[in-house]
Structure formats: structure tokens, C-alpha cells
Amino acid sequence: MPDRAVSDVVSFVLVFSLITVSVGVVSVAGLGSLQDARDAERIDNGERAFEVLADNQRDIAQGGAPSRATEIKLAETTLTLADPQDSTVTLSNGTVAGSTESRPITFRLSGDSGELSRGVVYEMGAVLRVDPGGAAMRRTPPFQFGSERTVIHYVTLESRTGAVQRESGSTTVLVRSVRGTTTLVSHYRPSNEVNITVQTTPRRAEAWHRYFTSELDGLSTGDPCQPLDGSGTVTCSFETDDLRVARTTIRAQIS
């Protein structure tokens, strides 16, 4: 009987230990998976909101709307009207056909710092989603490339306060956009190649590079885009009979 009692106690301890370890493992793994699922849902919601944001900006830039307001719900995320980034169109002789400095709007998980590693960005009329595996362009900019005619329409966001704007936490904010001016910057009939350069972040440069490579297929004698060098600069070349560069400025405010 004593041996049996000891055996029962040992069995109980072993079973109890196994259950405790199993619960611990499941809890840790389950909580991690749950957090990943929540983060993915937050980014999905941000992407849907940025689709609406892009539509509203296009209403202003191409539809002539005087203003638009886009509601975006933050859930442990951060929305930022960031520092401006550049884009330039030049002719083969070095003439600058057009350029812009536009502030991107970024949506990211709170606590994410440095270069955006997971989130959504609106820049120069395009919507890009950034994930750990890379970036993808969800909405293309209002550029029209063709051998007979090319129109590059820059949607240029400016800060109404003149500074970086940021909101974070778990609240609902408005991105208020007011139309500035729409200007035909230049009109050329190029006799040789046209160059377009976009300065962005290294991760988002991959998406811009794929976009231009696809759009400029057949408009260049070779590979239209230079290889990426990790600096965030995308440079591509193409040929067209008629080049027009336009710019619409939009004053934006996050509140």
C-alpha cells in the first residue's frame, strides 16, 4: 500500500506538471498569434481607410472638389503627415520638366519606429501597403504613360500647419484636405528619353520600381528602370511624343 500511495502521488505530480506546461505553452503561443491577428486587422482597416482617402484626394485633384474630409479610426496605431519627399521629371538634355515635394501620410502600429515596417502609406497619389516581406502598391498614382502622350499629374500634399502632424492612440481622427491650385507645369515634345525620379524610403522604393517597370514596358529600348541601390531613389527612363506635367496642391490637416 505505501508503494502504491507513492506511485499515485508521483503520477499526480507528473500529470499536473504536464498540464501546467501545456497550458503555459498554449497561452504564450496563443497570445502571440492573437496579437498578430489583431495587428493584421488594424493594418487591413487602415488600408480600407486609405482607399477612401485616395478617392477623396482624387476627387479634389481630378474632380474639382473644393475639399474633402476622411475619417480614420486609430486603434493603437499612429497617423502621421510626414516630412516631404521629392519627385522630378527631366529631359535628356537636363531640362527639368517638373518637380514636386509632397508629404506622405503614414498609418502604422504604435511603437513602430524608424522606417515603416508594417502599415499603409499615401504618397503622390499612390497607396502602398508595407509588410515585413516588402511593399505593394494598392492604388496607382494618376500618371498616364504612352508612346504618343504621357501625362504626369502630381498630387502634392502640404501641411496646413507647415509642420509634421501626428495623432496616435485609440480614437477617430479626420484628415481634412483643401484644394490649392492645379497647374500645367510644362508641355514638351521630347526628341529623346524622359527621366522620372521618385525619392522615397528603401522599402517603398521596391513598389515604385515595380510600378514603373510595368507601366513603361515598351516605352524604352531596354530595362526602363535603374537597379535599386538601397537609397530609396527610383530612376526610370522612357520615350514619348508628347509630355505634360501637371501639379495639384492639397493642404492637409490631421485633427
Q: For 67-93, b where at least 16 C-beta lie within 10 A, e where not — what string?
A: ebebebebeebbbbbbebbebbbbbee
Give the start-to-end residue ranges of the domains of the chain: 32-254
DSSP characters for 113-134?
Answer: -SS-SSEEEEETTEEEEEETTE
C-alpha cell recorded at residue 250:
492639397
Cell reading at 241: 511624343
Tell me the pLDDT of the chain (255 aa) as tens digits. 555 555 665 565 555 556 664 544 444 445 456 767 888 899 999 999 999 999 999 999 999 999 999 999 998 999 999 999 999 999 999 999 999 999 999 999 987 777 888 999 999 999 999 998 889 999 999 999 999 999 999 999 999 988 899 999 889 999 999 999 999 999 999 999 999 999 999 999 999 999 999 999 999 988 999 999 999 999 999 999 999 999 999 999 999
pLDDT, tens digit (0-9, with 9 covering 90-100), for 81-114: 999 999 999 999 999 999 999 999 999 998 777 7
Strand order in the sheet with 85-91: 96-102, 85-91, 194-199, 233-238
Contact partners, residue 84, CB within 8 Å, separation at least 6: 101, 102, 103
Q: Measure the CA–CA gap between 255 and 253, rounded to whole angstroms.
A: 6
Q: How many C-beta neighbours within 10 Å does residue 65 have?
A: 15
Of the candidates 49, 85, 122, 48, the one whose C-alpha atom is nearest the C-alpha of residue 202 is: 85
Contact 154, 245 (CB under 8 A): yes
Among left, alpha and beta (phi > 0; psi -120 to 50; other), residue 101 is beta
